[in-house]
Amino acid sequence: MNSASGMVDVGDKEITVRLAKAEGSIKLGDDAFGVIKNGTCIKGDVLATAKIAAIQAVKSTSSMIPLCHSILIEAVKVEFAMLEEDSLVSVTVTVKSSGKTGVEMEALTGASIACLTIYDMLKYAGQHMTISRIKLLEKTGGKSGDYKRQN
């Protein structure tokens, strides 16, 4: 077993447009879901705050994940879907960059932090919340080619 850690050398790789889309969800109790739906959170706008948190997390990924490269982020798109019948909020984060390494970790980090932010803002309304389904949906660009998750 090799115990040495190190960053991958991407110096000789071609610069290509990279895109990654990741998703996560948070299952809320009915009371917490109602707080978002009715806009009554004591901390402020839950989804607007989670969106900013996701963008900030995307930009800070290399500071949180030790062997992740620092990259130039060109665009971040954060979308939410509220599924009332399940008291579920789903978040999708899409990240774009032109560079020598992919943006999968940035998209996954953004989705994770958006869910954690929702949890933080709503914990006063009930802590029976579950974050799940953090996954890469698709990626394009780079040597390893394109990927699209099949359901």
Task: Provide the pLDDT confidence category of residue 127 given band limits of 50, 70 and 90.
Answer: confident
- What is the model's pTM? 0.95
pLDDT of 2 above 80: no
% of the chain beyond a pLDDT of 70: 99
Per DSSP, the three-state class of 52 is helix
Average pLDDT value for residue range 90-114 = 98
Note every long-range contact of 11-16, with CB atoms under 8 Å and residues 24 or more positions apart, other chains counting.
Answer: 11/100, 13/100, 13/101, 13/142, 13/143, 14/100, 14/143, 15/98, 15/99, 15/100, 16/98, 16/99, 16/100, 16/141, 16/142
pLDDT digits (tens, 9 = 90+) for 11-60: 999 999 999 999 999 999 999 999 999 999 999 999 999 999 999 999 99
- Set 9, 31, 120, 146: catalytic member: 120
- Measured torsion, CA atoms of residues 93, 99, 105, 106, in degrees rounded to the nearest 10: -40
Local structure of 15: helix, strand or coil: coil
**Known catalytic residue at 120:** yes
Q: Which residue segments constitute the domains of the chain, with CATH numbers given?
A: 26-141 (3.30.70.640)
Pairwise CA distance, residues 90 & 23, whole Å: 7
3-state secondary structure 85-151: HHCEEEEEEEEEEEECCCCHHHHHHHHHHHHHHHHHHHHHHCCCCEEEEEEEEEEECCCCCCEECCC
Sign, CA dihedral 106-112-113-118, equals positive
8 Å CB contact between 106 and 71: yes
